[in-house]
Amino acid sequence: VRRPTLEAVAARAGVSRATASRVVNGFTGVRPGVRDAVRRAVEELGYVPNPAARSLVTRRTGSVALVVAEPPSRVFSDDPFFSVVVRAVSQELEAADRQVVLMLASSPAGNARVERYVAGGHVDGVILVSTHGAGTADGAVPLTTALARTRVPVVSHGRPAAAGLAAIPYGDCDNHVGARAAVRHLLERGRRRIATISGPLDMTAAQDRLFGYREAMSGSDRRSIVAIGDFTRESGATAMRRLLTDDPHLDAVFAASDLMAIGALRTLREAGRRVPDDVALVGFDDIEAARYTDPPLTTIRQPVADVAAEVVGLLLTRLPTAAEPPTEPQAGRTAERLSERLVLPTRLVVRAST
């Protein structure tokens, strides 16, 4: 009932375990006749290598953890962000012949589980989708820090907040410049009273976009008008109501996400404001839905999938390959050659809402 071992394959093929191993692992330099005999034995026996045994000696697992520091309700929401990240990361990692292990961690207990799993050596590396701020409410060690001390390579999709002692490599889009471009576009359109709906300020993406708004505004004589949302549609609708109360004469809004812009659009319609005639509106992300609103949404396109691909690249650079054994970390030079951060540009996409 037990699964066949390499020993059995070798016996059947009439070779040594070493040779069988070479064939199974695709080493060149095995005589074709021998190679075929081994392959036949593998086939006939239905042999599958035991990953525990293999990983015990190679000190590699072939798996990478994709850790999303968000609760399931947010990960599985109508925000396409996570869907895109997971898909892009999986695709790139599969192309590199690595298995993705998706883990959600949104509580101190969850963080501890992830840390134990990683520290245990179940994975060769970690990709953190690190959107949220410094640690958990109860002051537990932030996941970023906890993972950094496991000695397993860690990279982040999105600039990590408060990385603390441990600066980890990351990829991100240029939130700051993107947001600034959005507001400048509104200024160029002759808008005078420009408000913004920000994301939650414990997320670096929200911080950077708010900074971009402020910078563009400070170049003019306009005062900033800010409402805070949480990147969801509903929060956008609510924030828009607050903005209309604060300044009934505003003539433009920059929403830090398309979903919030869509919510704001609904509020504006309910309030009898025409878009863009009375109020111009710019979003951020360029999600699919932005093309189908009425009017279609001017927005800042964010290359989420490209960032994900770059982040995977960042990690793969730091992983020992199957060919070369894990090298001792070399001081100085080598480390510096590995780029620590990759910031991809965004692009203004003008549609009918401005």
Partner DNA sequence: CTGAAAGCGCTTACAG
2 lies in the site for DNA, by CB under 7 A:
yes
Q: Which of 88, 143, 85, 84 shows the shortest CA–CA distance to 119?
A: 143
C-beta of 44 vs 78, nearer to a second copy: 78
Name the nearest CA neighbour of 284 among 149, 173, 135: 173
Selected range binding DNA among 12-20, 74-82, 223-231, 251-259, rule: CB under 7 A:
12-20
What distances in angstroms separate CA 286 from CA 177, 265, 347, one per listed residue? Answer: 16, 15, 9
Binding flag, residue 222, DNA (CB under 7 A): no
For the CB of residue 39, give the shortest distance to DNA in the complex, in Å: 13
Catalog residues that contact a second copy under the rule CB under 8 A. Answer: 1, 3, 48-53, 55-56, 61, 72-73, 75-78, 80, 82-83, 86-87, 90, 94, 99-104, 109, 113, 116-117, 119-122, 328
CA-to-CA dists, residue 305 to 124, 158, 203, 240, 344, angstroms? 22, 12, 19, 29, 11
* 141 contributes a contact to DNA by CB under 7 A: no
- Measured CA to CA, the distance from residue 285 to residue 175 in angstroms comes to 10
| Closest distance of CB 319 from DNA, Å | 14
Placement of tokens 């990690």 in the chain: 315
Residues 268 and 61: their CA atoms lie apart, in Å, by 53
**Residue 134: Cβ within 10 Å count:** 14
If binding is defined by CB under 7 A, does position 102 make contact with DNA?
Answer: no
Closest CA to 85 of 287, 285, 309: 309
Using the rule CB under 7 A, which residue among 39, 45, 54, 242 binds DNA? 54
The contact pattern for DNA, residues 316-335, with x = CB under 7 A and - = no contact, is ---------x----------
The SS3 call for residue 201 is coil
> What is the chain's Cα-based Rg?
26
Spatial separation of the C-alpha atoms in residues 157 and 36, rounded to whole Å:
44
Count the residues of the shown chain that bind DNA, applying the rule CB under 7 A: 29
Nearer to a second copy, 80 or 320 (CB): 80
The answer to the question of residue 47 lying near DNA (CB under 7 A) is yes
Compute the least distance from the CB of residue 92 to DNA, in Å: 24
* Residue 26 engages DNA in binding (rule: CB under 7 A): no
For residue 58, state whether it binds DNA (rule: CB under 7 A): yes
Which C-beta is closer to DNA: that of 54 or that of 266?
54
**Residue 269 interface partner, choices a second copy, DNA, none, CB cut-off 5-8 Å depending on type:** none
d(CA 292, CA 136): 37
22 binds DNA (CB under 7 A): yes
Instruction: List the one residue out of 159, 177, 130 whose CA is nearest residue 301.
Output: 177
Asked if 69 and 85 count as a contact pair (C-beta separation under 8 A), the reply is no
Residue 61 contact among a second copy, DNA, none, beta carbon within 5 to 8 Å by kind:
a second copy
Cβ at position 153, least distance to DNA in Å: 19
Collapse the DSSP code of 163 into the 3-class scheme (helix H, G, I; strand E, B; otherwise coil) and give the result.
Answer: coil
Binding part of the chain for DNA, among 18-26, 75-83, 148-156, 255-263 by CB under 7 A, reads 18-26
Instruction: Name the minimum Å distance from CB 23 to a second copy.
Output: 18
**Comparison of 33 and 190: residue with beta carbon closer to DNA:** 33
Distance CA 25, CA 7 (A): 15
Q: What angle do CA 175, 92, 99 make, to 5 degrees?
A: 120
Task: For residue 150, state whether it binds DNA (rule: CB under 7 A).
Answer: no
Residue type, 212: G
Which residues contribute to the site for DNA (CB under 7 A)?
A: 2-3, 5-7, 15-19, 21-22, 24-25, 29-31, 33-35, 47, 49-50, 53-54, 56-58, 325
